[in-house]
Amino acid sequence: MVVDRLWAALSGGPGVALACCFMAAAVALRWSGRRGARGAGARARQRRRAALESMDQAARRYRLQNPDLDSEALLALTLPQLVQKLHSGELSPEAALFTYVGKAWEVNKGTNCVTTYLADCETQLSQAPRQGLLYGVPVSLKECFSYKGQNSTLGLSLNEGVQAECDSVLVQVLKLQGAVPFVHTNIPQSMLSFDCSNPLFGQSTNPWKSSKSPGGSSGGEGALIGAGGSLLGLGSDIGGSIRFPSSFCGICGLKPTGNRLSKIGLKSCVYGQTAVQLSVGPMARDVESLALCMRALLCEDMFRLDPTVPPVPFKEEVYTSSRPLRIGYYETDNYTMPTPAMKRALLETKHSLEAAGHTLVPFLPSNIPYALETLSTGGLFSDGGTTFLQNFKGDFVDSCLGDLILILKLPRWLKGLLAFLLKPLLPRLAAFLSNMKSRSAKKLWKLQHEIEVYRNSVIAQWRALDLDVLLTPMLGPAMDLNVPGKAPGAVSYTMLYNCLDFPAGVVPVTTVTIEDEAQMEHYRGYFGDIWDKMLQKGMKKSVGLPVAVQCVALPWQEELCLRLMREVERLMPPEKRLF
């Protein structure tokens, strides 16, 4: 009776009006909830405009005062060459800094890769210790590295305006080694993407082709170094975030073992997740620059500032050895089908290494789907994504994240139901969904034990073949903008080595040919699902773009990994070298 009267009262005009009021209220609440995010975005962009203007003015001022400086010749120097000239006094630290400040400003116009200018670099010059291994070297930093007085937003509105109280440990060590950090570079929102876009600073683009992604999450670093705006940078990597930008932008990058370099002062969306190890490492144009950076960072200052890092200095005799290597390799992980260019890059590198006297042995780590779908995904999202999602309250969600936020917001029971229903049609998506459910502490401990068991089983496989190092394909060429978030399965070549916590580095070895492009038309992937289709679509129109290989070593053997990387680089024909 009451319901009938209520229905009659709401029928017709009054009901429609009430419904419209509810809709208007919902829209107003949504708009009001995002007001803070809009304000944060406006402030971030204003802050960056002012920083870029300061960069431009500083570079112009120095050029006017030093009209005879040959900037092009300075920019053409490799990092070891620049270091030698700075130490000898042939070049001044001011010349190096302001030349790269000007170049970074120019590169940013085309790639949108710089988030701020670390203006105190100008005063830092006078304090740089002359005896430091990186004396006078301008260094770029991924935005997540805390720098006193600066914001590390991670592309999230809740972090805008939150200034760091002190430098991260690695920034302190860089300064003690004479380096001069000068810019922060762009990242994808939250850093959990291998694209590079966020609502505060927008989309970074690839220096080789503006319609392509620079990779992520260290995408700003990749773009800046790849375009010549920096000689050396620091990135972080929890699924390929150093290696994707290095591959896509044609530079070198090293993901060390998780605790080889200090992570104190590194900003993150999720703290305390240790099942899948985060690493920090260098990015540069060549392997020797990576080695030089590792030499500088693995010093008494870092071991003093962070006693939790093993006090193991750089092992020079391992890196410089000329002993022939026993190298495992695989052409495919049987999860993400290599593109024609990836396969050609791997095989050409294998043949070059064999011709140089190294032994190449077929080797494929066991049960890769299990490592990716169960161990890695389960480790990263053991709380169902709750902690991660807290960073997005009242914020806009960037399209580079694909459907990740939507999926994580699903209730646990619905994730399980969808996984069950999708398993016959989309087994990979179903497996990821199933492992994104929250789990108890008991089940988390079980998962962490399973990761340990898996790691030991792969090491046993490795030892049984008496391998020194491993050569694998590396995802490439660069994908179209906004595609990485729609093809998450493509992290398989990189994520595996975060799960295993093995050091892994990337070296560019070739570029996409017309033949590679033609063969890509027939690419179908191993599953033929939406992820495979997006990968095929996103890698078209790529002739001339760089393609890399990945070099891997056992835990704590970064020097051996770099040794293989150096050998791969040395054997590359001169006509294929990008720098």
Q: Which of 122, 134, 112 is nearest to 45 (CA)?
A: 112
Query: How far is C-alpha 53 from the geometric centre of its chain's CA atoms?
Result: 27
Cα dist. 200→45, 73, 124, 190 in Å? 7, 35, 28, 12
Q: Which of 168, 217, 236, 262 is catalytic?
A: 217
Is position 241 annotated as part of the catalytic site? yes
Q: Which of 157, 193, 241, 289 is catalytic?
A: 241
| Range list of H helices, 381-484 | 386-389, 404-409, 412-422, 427-434, 441-464
Which token pair is 512?
């996409």
Contact 267, 159 (CB under 8 A): yes
154 φ/ψ angles, rounded to the nearest 5 degrees: 60, 20
Residues with Cβ within 8 Å of residue 33, at least 6 apart in sequence: 394
Which token pair is 442?
């008991």
Query: How far is C-alpha 14 from the geometric centre of its chain's CA atoms?
Result: 55
3-state helix, strand, coil in the chain (%, to 5): 50, 10, 40
C-alpha R_g of the chain: 25
Is position 343 annotated as part of the catalytic site? no
Q: Which of 103, 140, 142, 376 is catalytic?
A: 142
Q: SS3 sequence, 315-380?
A: CHHHHCCCCCCEEEECCCCCCCCCCHHHHHHHHHHHHHHHHCCCEEEECCCCCHHHHHHHHHHHHH
Q: For residue 91, give the DSSP letter.
A: S
- Do β-strands 546-552 and 197-198 pair in parallel, antiparallel, or remain unpaired? unpaired
Q: Which of 100, 102, 211, 253 is nearest to 477 (CA)?
A: 211
Place of tokens 């998506």: 429
| Cα–Cα dist 303/445, whole Å | 30
In a 3-state reduction of DSSP, which class is residue 240? coil
Cα dist. 261→138, 256, 287, 437, 527 in Å? 20, 8, 18, 31, 38
CA angle 198, 237, 373 (to 5 degrees): 95
Is position 230 annotated as part of the catalytic site? no
Residues marked as catalytic: 142, 217, 241
